[in-house]
Amino acid sequence: MVAIIGRPNVGKSSLFNRILSRRHAIVSEVAGTTRDRLIAQASWKGRPFLLVDTGGLEDDPDGHIPQRVQQQADMAMGAADVIVFLTDVIEGVTATDEAVAQRLRRTDKPILLAVNKVDNDNRELAAAEFFGLGLNDTAFISAYHNYGVYDLLERIVELLPRRELADAWDGGPLSLSIVGRTNVGKSMLTNAIIGEERSIVSPVAGTTRDALDTAVSYRDHEITLVDTAGIRRPGQVQRGIEKYSVLRAVNAVHRSDITLLITDATELATAQDAHIAGLSWDTNRGLIVVVNKWDLVNRNRFRMERVLHRVRERLHFMRYVPVCFTSALTGEGIEEMLDTALSLWQERQKRVPYRDLQYLLADAVSTHTPPSQRGNIRNRLRIRRVRQVAVNPPTFVFSVNDPKLLHFSYQRYLENQIRDRFGFDRTHLRLIFRPERAEKSSRSGIRNRAR
């Protein structure tokens, strides 16, 4: 593990993104943009390692969130094998830099002093004052212009301990994105799952800004949890950092296998919850509705039934979605939620034999013949065959005479037949209707590539 530390706004997130060769962390001129630890897998010349971006270190943090930011940075330094201490040549050596350097000199971990924003000869001369911090390994870089970064990486991999770091981060086959409105308890739920404070928790809405990946193991399954920023209604999203935070959250849904939609038990199933669920539905992701803060509700034997009815009514386009009840504060329902996620994941991996699908198609068509268009029997949909071509989500391709003759009600009928026959009770199904000629040419191309 390699941790990047330093004062606010010295370019830590810019260096983090430069090493990853992608925009993973939010970069802004506003000091204090990064709050939680960002962890991502990186490698250089065949040496894999975990790269950690941290919030800015301050002498005297004022307020709850700045203090927790310092704790997150301390945890990153404690777990790191190599520490990159990033400074800013433009501002020069500050009192905070000297305090951090004094602290780092007491550790036995390898320390790399990286002086950032050194992009011309004058700044390179000015950077000489940083030798006074007493740290031997010093590099002059410019994360924005990609100057000196490769030399820095060379030195990092030289200092990494000689062990197989690839085993430390497997990523796992299952990715769970945790999304929802602001302040519904997403970060607290993430911390409750992993058993430590991975995300900063605060009653202030919008505390989490980046999408935070964490690898955990549960019942011999590797799972990647992605805690995201709260998604407000489009008209309430402010420009700048919050806008990019929402984009990160939407992107987390796209790259996950299953979405955990966190709702507040005291503000059930709002229109914004339905909008966020629609993101998962549009991208064919699995979805679990998690009713959090269940400990705040006055419960009786009918309360859960009323809540389920309200959720099903709001998410009428996804009535098959499983619903779990949790309390991140007390830990209630956490295991049941994870068990539901694993069960849904296994359902999304299910494959149906080709022969069974043909039997299903024959029974479905004989029971309910496709309706004709305008009463003309020649304008009736004819389905030749069906086959499953993918999993996660289960995807079925129907070979038909003309997809334009398909009515949405008959597509829903076929989907329900597949669900009832093969036990797809809680996952999204993707049905594709192709002209028979296109289907033949597609299979021919596959055979030619195989040859």
56-69 confidence digits (pLDDT tens): 676 655 555 456 55
How far apart, in Å, are the Cα atoms of 113 and each of 86, 87, 131, 371, 432? Answer: 6, 8, 9, 73, 56
Dist CA 357 CA 120 (whole Å): 67
Dist CA 98 CA 418 (whole Å): 66
C-beta neighbour count of 66 within 10 angstroms: 16
Helix 334-348 to helix 186-194 angle (10° resolution) is 90
**Pick the residue with more confidence: 216 or 171?**
216
Dist CA 114 CA 139 (whole Å): 5
pLDDT(354) > 50: yes
End-to-end CA distance of the chain: 45
Q: Which helix (H) or strand (E) holds 370?
A: none
Q: Which whole number is the average pLDDT over 240-254?
A: 58
C-beta neighbour count of 22 within 10 angstroms: 9
Lowest mean pLDDT among 88-102, 178-192, 318-332, 357-371: 178-192
Q: What does the pLDDT look like over 371-393, one tens digit per residue?
A: 877 656 567 889 999 999 999 99
pLDDT(448) > 70: no
Q: What does the pLDDT look like over 66-115, one tens digit per residue?
A: 565 566 566 667 777 898 999 999 989 988 888 888 888 878 888 899 99
Dist CA 142 CA 88 (whole Å): 10
| Contact between 55 and 70 (Cβ < 8 Å) | yes
442: its two tokens: 């597609």
Q: Which whole number is the average pLDDT over 279-299?
A: 86
**CA 98, 104, 107 angle in degrees (round to 5)?**
155
Dist CA 327 CA 105 (whole Å): 43
Q: What does the pLDDT look like over 204-245, one tens digit per residue?
A: 334 444 446 777 888 888 888 887 765 655 444 344 334 445
What DSSP string runs through 47-83?
EEEEEEE-PPP-SS--SHHHHHHHHHHHHHHHH-SEE
> Which residues face 376 on adjacent strands?
373
Predicted pLDDT of residue 411 = 93
Predicted pLDDT of residue 8 = 82
